[in-house]
Structures are given as C-alpha cells and as structure tokens.
Amino acid sequence: MAERAESDSSLLNLDDEDLYRRLLLESLEKEGAAGLGGLQPQEPAGRRVVPKPGFCVKTKADSDQKVFINVCTAEEVPEPRDINEQELREILESEDAEKYRISMSIGEPHTEVDKSGKGCTAYDVIVNPNFYDKMQKQDIFKAFFLVVCLEGLEQKYQMLLSRNYTILKNRRCLGVLQEQFLRTKSKPFIHEMERDSSSLISEVDSGETRIPEPEYTIIKEPAEGYPEFLVAEFKLPAVRSVRFLTLDVGEDRIVLGARPDLYHLDIFLPYNINQEESGAQFNKKTRILTLTMPVQPES
C-alpha cells in the first residue's frame, strides 16, 4: 500500500530560530559496555530497551538522500513537565522564557530500503509515551518536538536536514527499531542560550563554543570617492547549499547565518544601502556568497 502523507512541516507557523532559543533538549546518548585495561567491562547505570513504534517522518539530508525518523516510545525515557497548550504558547512568546525540557534518546543511524527499493537512512528517536500521546492530540506539541528533534539530529551527526518533512500516515516506522541503552542519568545534549544572545548550541561536555564568523571582504565601487556600490564576498567552505543560508540585509547592517550553527556574522556598514535593489549569489563550486549592494546617494 502506498504511503499517504498525514501532514507536513507547515503544522504551525512557528519560527524555527525563535524556538531554538527557547528550548533545552536533553538527549539520552546511546552507550554500550566498555572495558578498562584488565578490569571487567562495566556498564553504566541504565538498561537496554527496544522502543515501541509511533510515527515516521520522511525528510532529506543536504546530500539529497532520503532520511526517515522513527519517533517511538519507551517508559524508561523521563516524561517532560506536564504543561498545557496555553502554557507552551506563553513560553514561546515570553521575553524571559522558562526553560522547558524534552527528554529523548537519539539512536544510531541504520540503513534501510524505502518503498521504491532504494537505500535510505533511518534514525530512531525515543520519547516518553505520555508525551507522545500529547503530541498526537495537540499539533503545537508535535511541531515543537519536531523542531528540536531535527536540530538534535543535525547537531549529533553533523548534517543538515530539510524542514520540508512529511509525516507518513500508513507507516509507523521504517525498518526494525533498534535496541538502545538508556542511562539512568542523562547528559544534556543541546544547551539553550538566552533569547537575546547568539544562537549557540553545544554539547555540555565540550563547553559552550562560539559560532565561527566566516572570512569576508567588502570593497567599494568605485574604489575612490563616494561609492555607488558595495560588494561583499563571504567565504563559506562548510556550506553545501544555499538552502541552509539565512541573509538579512538592513539599511546599514548585514546578518548572515548558516545552519546548523556553521557560521554567524552580524556587521554594520559604513554607508546606507538600497536594500530593495541589493542581490546575492552563492557559488556552489567556490562556496563563496557574493552580495552586491547599491549605496544610497550622498546627502
């Protein structure tokens, strides 16, 4: 039977960047037994569980490869604090949002075959069954969860995932759900920063890391006197596609970002520019973004 799409990434009009700054994701990292020297192998406190299927999300990686996310459940995953829809909306809209944690276990990738017989990659993400039931009943919690889930997968496996996902209606999971080891005490996987700070997402073990600024140059045209244009070039060697760039050009300011937290740049310009007539082009071969900005006439 052909898969039918239940819904897509337009579940709600939620601003991904705004959500990222309000969330605290606790990921229960998968661990196995490890021996030390001549000592007997000793497993950390926890237990191995095989999750129960829930729903399946289909998306794509930046390599255009299909990716399936099996959202599944296990009692061993801690249940998030119980809040209602109105409380969640207030958290998202507040200037000093209270941290809201969603515990989840992100498993290792496993190779599967899709309905057309082509190879693909699947990831199993486990949540508490009570929270899963809440997601099924209230779309805002499902959209909220999927924003964090996609960001968590990107952060853990250093990849980029499309936000144009589809929730499959007639398939609860792809492939066989993998056994995972859930520790009794989890380490936070994604650390939330304050709303007004830079959007930093880092593993707690390695400490908070600053998002690197790309190398860039800005030249005047003509070079002498008052310019007619400013031409900026940004070197973005880690960016594979323009889909993952965000660019905001103000009258005298440029804000450039690259998901997931590859680059961030916020600079002011020495001249006021014509925003409406400015244009940008990304060269996939050289991975250089060129921004051409007409300068407003000298007053």
**Residues 42-90: pLDDT tens digits?**
445 568 889 999 999 999 998 788 999 999 999 999 999 899 988 888 8
Hey, which residues does 55 pair with through a beta bridge? 71
Supply the pLDDT for residue 251: 87
pLDDT-wise least confident of 33-47, 66-80, 107-121, 160-174: 33-47
Model pLDDT, residue 181:
85
Question: Above pLDDT 90, what percent of the chain?
Answer: 36
Which stretch of 6-15, 58-67, 284-293 has the lowest confidence by average pLDDT?
A: 6-15
* pLDDT at position 276: 86
Q: 131: which residues sit within 8 A by CB, 6+ positions away?
A: 79, 80, 102, 141, 145
Contact 264, 275 (CB under 8 A): no
Which of the two residues, 59 and 18, has the higher pLDDT score?
Answer: 59
Which of the four pLDDT bands, split at 50, 70 and 90, describes residue 166?
very high
Q: Which of 23-37, 143-157, 230-244, 261-275 has the lowest mean pLDDT?
A: 23-37
Residue 235 reports pLDDT greater than 80: yes
Query: One-letter amino acid identity for 274?
Result: N
pTM higher than the cut 0.75: no
CA Rg value for the chain = 22
The pLDDT of residue 90: 82
Three-state SS annotation for the chain: CCCCEEEECCCCCCCHHHHHCCEEEEECCCCCCECCCCCCCECCCEEEECCEEEEEEEEEECCCCEEEEEEEECCCCCCCCCCCHHHHHHHHHCCCCCCEEEEEEECCCEEEECCCCCEEEEEEEEECHHHHHHHHHCHHHHHHHHHHHHHHHHHHHCCCECCCCEEECCCCCCCCCCCEEEECCCCCCCCCCCCCCCCCCCCHHHCCCCCCCCEEEEEEECCCCCCCEEEEEEECCCCCCHHHEEEEECCCEEEEEECCCCEEEEEECCCCECCCCCEEEEECCCCEEEEEEEECCCC
pLDDT in tens, 172-222: 999 999 998 886 544 433 333 333 333 322 222 333 346 888 999 999 999
